[in-house]
Structure 1
Amino acid sequence: MPTTDLPILVLNGPNLNLLGTRQPDLYGRETLADVVDLCGKAAASFGRTVDTQQSNHEGALIDWIHAARGTTSGVVINPGGYAHTSVALRDAIAMLEVPVVEVHITNIHAREEFRHRSLVSPVANAVLCGLGTGGYRAAIEWLCRATEA
């Protein structure tokens, strides 16, 4: 099966279920449902689909990454705070054999010092930060182009 027949997995980590209400001055007023819709539309414009998941639990994110092996054409992940703390998440992403794009709604380099370093970035194919939720659209579009047959 060509990889373009497989969905793109979009993973959202901790606290992203509160988008739109959690610090809207920082993260904006768009909700996670808006992000899911945006990702679906971006993929559909390439004739592709997405599978979206969100969890506040590190193990759930890792389980979805493990399940992505052979069942997805690429992964977009906003690891939230786990970007800066989770070696286990980094190791799970490193074993994937499909392109991975790390997304952050805010510019993590313009925030607190502890957010400047992501453990995920070195094992991702691309990193987008500071584009608001538009970073998800850019990530989907890049993955669609990168995995075209």
Structure 2
Amino acid sequence: MKLLILNGPNINMLGKRERAIYGESSYEDLCEYIRVNGQNLSINVDILQSNIEGELVTYIQDAYDKYDGIIINPAAYTHYSIAIYDALKAVDIPTVEVHISNIYAREEYRRKSVVAPACIGQISGFGIYSYVMGMMALINKAK
């Protein structure tokens, strides 16, 4: 199984920004954690991050016919990116939306995801373990 892991804006600032919400792990720690857990689950992972919506859309489009699944943390784009939603619908690759924090326990505007309806599911609030849960969900979906 080959998965694309996409991270949106400010995820590259993990370990520096709002540690009480996002934890102490750096972005590099997150990537290593994903790689190790992917390896343990016999999954090949490619990890990309961008602060630019159009780049994320291009990454999704480029995933067509190359990946068995996508795990996306759209970050702030979760709440308003119809472009990301449309890209996910266009490629029709099983996708899991993940969030490090529990978006439903935060500000009201963070509780709505316009991306989630293009996904097979959403995982929120389990820290960086949310990514592992996403991998396991995609393995289960492929069975």
How far is 1:147 from its partner? 2.2
How far is 1:97 from its partner? 2.3
Residue 129 of structure 1 corresponds to 124
Q: Unpaired segments of 5 or more residues in structure 2?
A: none
Return the letter of the residue paired with 1:55: S
| Runs of 4+ off more than 3 Å | none
Residue 36 of structure 1 corresponds to 31
Note if contact 1:43-1:141 (Cα within 8 Å) is conserved in structure 2: no
Is 2:82 aligned against 1:87? Answer: yes
Q: Unpaired segments of 5 or more residues in structure 1?
A: none
Aligned partner (choices 2, 22, 27) of residue 22 of structure 2: 27
Residue 51 of structure 2 corresponds to 56
Distance 1:123 1:93 in 2: 6
Distance 2:40 2:141 in 1: 15
Distance 1:70 1:133 in 2: 27
Distance 1:105 1:87 in 2: 21
TM-score normalised by length of structure 2: 0.95
- Secondary structure of the residue aligned to 1:118 is coil
Deviation per CA, 1:25-78, whole angstroms, max 9, x where unpaired? 110001111111121122212322100000000011000000000001100000
How far is 1:144 from its partner? 2.3
Which shifted more, 40-49 or 76-85? 40-49
- Secondary structure of the residue aligned to 1:20 is coil
RCO higher in structure (CA 8 A, sep ≥6): 1
Distance 1:140 1:37 in 2: 15
Question: What do you get for the CA RMSD once the two structures are aligned?
Answer: 1.1
How far is 1:145 from its partner? 2.9
Residue 115 of structure 1 corresponds to 110
How far is 1:96 from its partner? 2.4
Distance 2:92 2:54 in 1: 20
Distance 2:6 2:55 in 1: 10
Return the letter of the residue paired with 1:119: V
Residue 77 of structure 1 corresponds to 72
Residue 143 of structure 1 corresponds to 138
Note if contact 1:105-1:129 (Cα within 8 Å) is conserved in structure 2: yes
Percent identity over the alignment?
Answer: 37
- Secondary structure of the residue aligned to 1:11 is strand
Query: How many residues are aligned here?
Result: 143
